[in-house]
Structure 1
Amino acid sequence: MPSTNTGTRRRRAVPLLSAAVLATVLALTGCAGGTEIQTGGEEDRFISGDGSATVFEAGDRVPVPEVGGTTFEGDELALADYEGRILVLNVWASWCGPCRAEQPVLDEVFAEYGGLGVDFLGVNIKDNETAALAYTENKGVEYPSLYDQPGEIPQAFRETVPPRAIPSTLVISPEGEIAARVIGPTTYGQLTGLLDPLVVEYGFGDPEDRPRVSEQESAEPEDTEEADDADASDAPRTEADG
């Protein structure tokens, strides 16, 4: 059976509102904690995400649909191309505040888990292509994203485990089955906690041995300072130096 972890964030109870008032509230709040977008009928509605995660054990996993699309660079990619690797599929939009907030997390985990059989693929929906491409360039996102303005890829998951919020993240096993889902922005601890068991399950290595971006970044200033000192000591002395 799937297990759900809502973390420390809780939704506050809100009074029952009329449809008109609720629509006004949603229009004003936008993407403050995820977003809700009407893409069709009631079953197609995207809802606000609270960052909760659901894990599916091996016997409870369902296959992903046969979907794909075109990246900003014009390359054709399908989910089937990632079979044999763990895939982190992230649904995002450039105008979404929580998406921008979680981007450093995705970048950090991507950098650390590439050698452990993990790939990343973004799905950009309900967005302007120029704005979305500028987002990836400005943020320095190194993994590809499919441009899916209508949101057809998330809709293809409707009979399985749909990513119903922006942002949402699906963790897909090397066998092409959904192993976990996060509705709303994810965190470093949450995402690595979802990946580690899969990395071990499929024998891709020991997650504890992965390079840590935070440790590398903290060491950079010291390395730079030592290099500067070394350069200064190696520089030829002049008469002005005494």
Structure 2
Amino acid sequence: MTLRPVARAVALTAIVSLGSLSLSACGSGKSGGGDQANYVTGTDGIAAVAKGERKPVGPIKGETLQGKHFDVAGLRGKIVVINVWGSWCPPCRAEAPYLNKVAKEMKNEGVEFIGINTRDSDKGPAKAFEDDFNILYPSLYDPIGKILLPGFPKGTATPQGLPPTITLDRNGKIAARVFGAIDDNKLHDPLVSEN
């Protein structure tokens, strides 16, 4: 599968030109098996999926850190950026201000951000993380991967490889993924293409 430059830009939407900071990811970064989401990883570390080969996510819903019910399916029609993080993860802490900044800037452009907090055994440290970085978007609380693992096709994300950032197109299908911390310049480029 070869991606044309335009198709690649479209596929990347919210993660266009994402690379990783020079930080290592928390955990192995391996997804625990074969990749079944048709990713094509560029030299920049971004794994994109051509529009015709994208797969939908499974149910990604549950309780947020603030105790409210949240269902990603309610965001259909918008570009959705999902960041999986842990309060104890240094790359997650490094990228948090950038994710928050771009979430704020792109809210009126039809781009929604959601976090999935994992491997924090209680909500206290995760809530403190959100307070420390003044996170503006909700995060589902998923300490053992009950939301994360069935929600994504095998090879997309696991609680052991943090932080992955996954972009869903307006139809709720996976358009792109990157493992490792990101910054606003690499996250912000053409966020709202033809997705």
TM-score range, shorter chain: 0.7 to 0.9
SS of equivalent residue, structure 1 residue 200: coil
Larger radius of gyration: 1
1:182 aligns with 2:173: no
CA distance in 2, matches of 1:8, 1:122: 18
Larger RCO (CA under 8 A, 6+ residues apart): 2
The counterpart of 1:35, out of the listed 13, 26, 30, is 26
Q: Find the aligned partners of 2:18 and 2:102 in 1 and give their Cα distance.
A: 21
Name the CA distance, whole Å, in 2 between partners of 1:179 and 1:159: 12
Q: Tell me, yes or no, if the aligned pair for 1:83 and 1:174 is still in contact at 8 Å.
A: yes
One-letter identity of the residue aligned with 2:140? L
Q: Which of 99, 111, 123 does residue 104 from structure 2 map onto?
A: 111
Task: Give the superposition deviation at 1:74.
Answer: 1.2
Give structure 1 stretches of 5+ with no counterpart: 11-31, 45-50, 203-242
Tell me if structure 2 keeps the 8 A contact 1:167–1:185: yes
The answer for the alignment partner of 2:142 in structure 1 is 148
Q: Quick one: percent identity of the two aligned structures? A: 33
Cα deviations by residue, 1:90-147 (Å, 9 ceiling, x for unpaired): 0000000000100111011111111110001000000131010111012111111001
Give TM-score, length-normalised by structure 1: 0.62
Q: Distance in 2 between matches of 1:85 and 1:9?
A: 27
Whichever residue aligns with residue 179 of structure 1, its letter is A
Number of equivalent positions: 170
SS of residue in 1 equivalent to 2:135? coil
Deviation at 1:81, TM superposition (A): 1.0
Structure-2 residue corresponding to 1:87: 80
| Deviation, structure 1 residue 8 | 8.1
Is it true that 1:63 corresponds to 2:56 in the alignment? yes
Write the distance in 1 (CA, Å) between the matches of 2:54 and 2:33.
22
CA distance in 2, matches of 1:184, 1:9: 7
Question: Structure 2 length as normaliser, TM-score?
Answer: 0.76
Counterpart AA for 1:93: G
CA distance in 2, matches of 1:156, 1:2: 28
Post-superposition Cα deviations, 1:40-60, rounded to whole Å, max 9, x if no partner, equal xx549xxxxxx8211222112
Q: Distance in 2 between matches of 1:167 and 1:8?
A: 10
Which structure: greater helix fraction?
1
